Structure 1
Amino acid sequence: MKQIKFFVQIFLVFLLLASCNQKPQIGLLMDTTARERWVKDRDAFVEKIEENKGSVIVKVADSDPDLQFQQGLELINQGVDVLVIIPVDMVVAAGIVKMAKNQNIPVISYDRLIRDAEIDFFVSTDAIDIGEKQAKFLTTIAPAGNYALIGGPTSDNNSYQLYLGWMNILQPLVDRGDIKIVGSKFVDHWDSEDGYEMIKSIIDSGETIDAIIAGNDALAEGAIQELKEAGLAGKVLVAGQDADISAIRNIILGDQTITVYKPVVSMAYNAADAAIKMAKGKTPTDNMSFTVNNGNHLVPAILLNGQVVNKQNIRMTVVSEGFVEEQEIFE
């Protein structure tokens, strides 16, 4: 009897040691890696998880919400310790969260808030503040004139937040009659074709445009392509977001006025740190700076600040921080 008890104790110790040595496994669900900024997010996140002795399974949905749902189910069935989601569609992503919580898997919403869901943590930038920064910069240069607003898809909560930021600055000028909104639309996708089509429709209608505020640099890039075809490139102010290399080049050429640099490496590191802590049963509140109401509850959050990048400060911002290599700009 004593011998059996001894072997049981040895077996329990073995199980305990095995569980202690097991790497935390983190699932990362991504919308896309088609734009270089998302590649930077992914690489920084994976680097930080591995630095903390964890492992990552990355799934990329190529902007297909149904595929992302299936990928989420796969990761949940694989038994990941924590799920980090960059949602394609916040409604569909809420379904992934529900499945994860049924299996007691913590969920971090990354960059884009998943609304009406039981998420545990949110890491992003302050999208309202970014929208205000875009609008403030352009209205300082052009306090009067015709403005076009290209919002992102309504499946992304950031689209609404950016629009609120724009209108916080623009509405008083609209009310005074100084600024006229000649076009304002939430497009279907965060891509250049949607930006191109919207600005083309405004120009084809005969309206003049003095300034364009776009939800990201891909939409701004499409707008600039139409401006080039209309002979207006460099004559219309254009604001974007994400500090894509194509946007930096357009700023150097004078075709784009500003972009907003989001500190994606810091965002990814914060999300990775939070994921590792959650995998170990800890609460990642050390760097928490905010709570955000997602319609379900107040979500603990880290919201970092974006930074305006223009022709004068490219070297002092994205280059000095290593986000963009200077030689890349002039390739």
Structure 2
Amino acid sequence: MRQINLTFQILLVFLLFAGCNQKPEIGLLMDTIARERWVKDRDAFVQKVNDLGGSVTVKVADSDASVQFQQALEMINAGIDVLVIIPVDMTVAAGIVKMAKKQNIPVISYDRLIRDSDIDFYVSTDNIDVGEQMASFLTTVRPTGNYVLIGGPTTDNNSFQLHLGWMNVLQPLIDKGDIKVVSHQFVERWEPQDAYQLMSSVLNEGHTVDAVIAGNDALAQGAIDALAEHGMAGKALVAGQDADITAIRNIILGNQTITIYKPIESLAFNAADAAVKMAKGKKPSDNMSFTINNGHRLVPAILLNGQVVNKQNIRMTVISEGFVAEQEIFE
């Protein structure tokens, strides 16, 4: 009997020791890595999880929501500890969350909020504030005239957040008659071609365009391409976000007015730190006082601030912080 007890105790100690040393397995579901911004997110997140003693499985859906759902199923069946999602489609992603929660897997929504779901944590920039920064800068430079608003896909909650930020600034000027929004549409994809087609239609209808606010730098590029065909590149103000290298070059050339630089290292750090903590059964953050209503619950969240980048402060922002190298800009 004593021998059995001793054997059981040894086995229990072994199991406890093994459990304590098991590496947290984190699943990262990504929409795309076609834009360099998302490559930076991926690399920073993976590096930080590795530094914290975990490991990451990354799956990229190439902007296909059904593919992302299947990738999530594979990760869940493989027994990951925490799932981090950059959703292609927030409605489909809500189904992924439901599936993960049935297996008691915590879920972090990264950059894009997954609405109407039981997510555990949300890490992003303050997208309403980003929208306000974009509109504030352009209306300060050009407080009157015709504006075009190019929103992102309606499958992405950020598109609505940005729009709210734009209108917080624009609506008083619209009400005064100083600004006229000649076109405001949402595109189907975060792709330059979608914005190009929308912008071309506006210009072909004969509208004068004084400023364009686009949901991100890819859409800003599409708008710039259309403006260039009509001899208006550099004449109309253009705002985007993400600080893509193409946007930085456009700003240097005078074809884009501003972009918004997001603190990607900090976003990835906070998400990775939260994921590893949750894999160990801990709270995702020491400060759980801030929450976001996603339509289902109040979700603990971290929202970071973006920063305006223009021709005058490129060296003081994205270059000095190592986000882009100066030689990249002038290649």
Aligned-CA RMSD value:
0.8
Query: CA–CA distance in 1 between the matches of 2:159 and 2:288?
Result: 23
Q: Is the 8 A contact 1:289 1:302 kept in 2?
A: no
* Number of positions where the alignment pairs a residue of Structure 1 with one of Structure 2: 331
Of all paired residues, the percent bearing the same amino acid is 74
Q: Which amino acid aligns with 2:220?
A: A
Query: CA–CA distance in 1 between the matches of 2:263 and 2:284?
Result: 20
Query: CA–CA distance in 2 between the matches of 1:237 and 1:295?
Result: 35
Q: Which amino acid aligns with 2:23?
A: K
Deviation at 1:11, TM superposition (A): 1.2
Match of 1:114, SS state, is coil
Q: Is the 8 A contact 1:131 1:161 kept in 2?
A: yes
Partner of 1:244: 244
Partner of 1:235: 235
Partner of 1:45: 45
Q: Which amino acid aligns with 1:270?
A: N
Query: CA–CA distance in 2 between the matches of 1:92 and 1:284?
Result: 24
Match of 2:282, SS state, is coil
Q: Which amino acid aligns with 1:224?
A: I
Q: Which amino acid aligns with 1:149?
A: L
Q: Which runs of 5+ in 1 are unaligned?
A: none
Q: Which amino acid aligns with 2:131?
A: G
Deviation at 1:5, TM superposition (A): 1.9
- What pairs up with 1:98-113 in 2 under 5 angstroms? 98-113=98-113
Partner of 2:79: 79
Match of 1:282, SS state, is coil
Partner of 1:140: 140
Deviation at 1:10, TM superposition (A): 1.1
Deviation at 1:261, TM superposition (A): 0.4
Partner of 2:266: 266
Q: Which runs of 5+ in 2 are unaligned?
A: none
Partner of 1:96: 96
Match of 2:308, SS state, is strand
Matched, 1:64 2:76: no
Deviation at 1:285, TM superposition (A): 2.5
Match of 1:113, SS state, is coil
Match of 1:181, SS state, is strand
Query: CA–CA distance in 2 between the matches of 1:196 and 1:260?
Result: 20
Q: Which amino acid aligns with 2:25?
A: Q
Partner of 1:189: 189
Query: CA–CA distance in 1 between the matches of 2:61 and 2:289?
Result: 30
Structure 1, residues 138-177: CA drift from partner, whole Å, max 9, x if none?
0011100000000000000000000000011111111111
Structure 1, residues 99-158: CA drift from partner, whole Å, max 9, x if none?
110010000000000000000000000001000000000001110000000000000000
Q: Which amino acid aligns with 1:165?
A: G
Partner of 2:282: 282
Q: Which amino acid aligns with 1:99?
A: M
Structure 1, residues 69-107: CA drift from partner, whole Å, max 9, x if none?
000111111111100000000000000000110010000
Query: CA–CA distance in 2 between the matches of 1:260 and 1:290?
Result: 23
Bigger mean CA deviation after superposition, 240-249 or 6-15: 6-15
Q: Is the 8 A contact 1:97 1:119 kept in 2?
A: yes
TM-score between the two structures when normalised by the length of structure 1 = 0.99
Partner of 1:125: 125
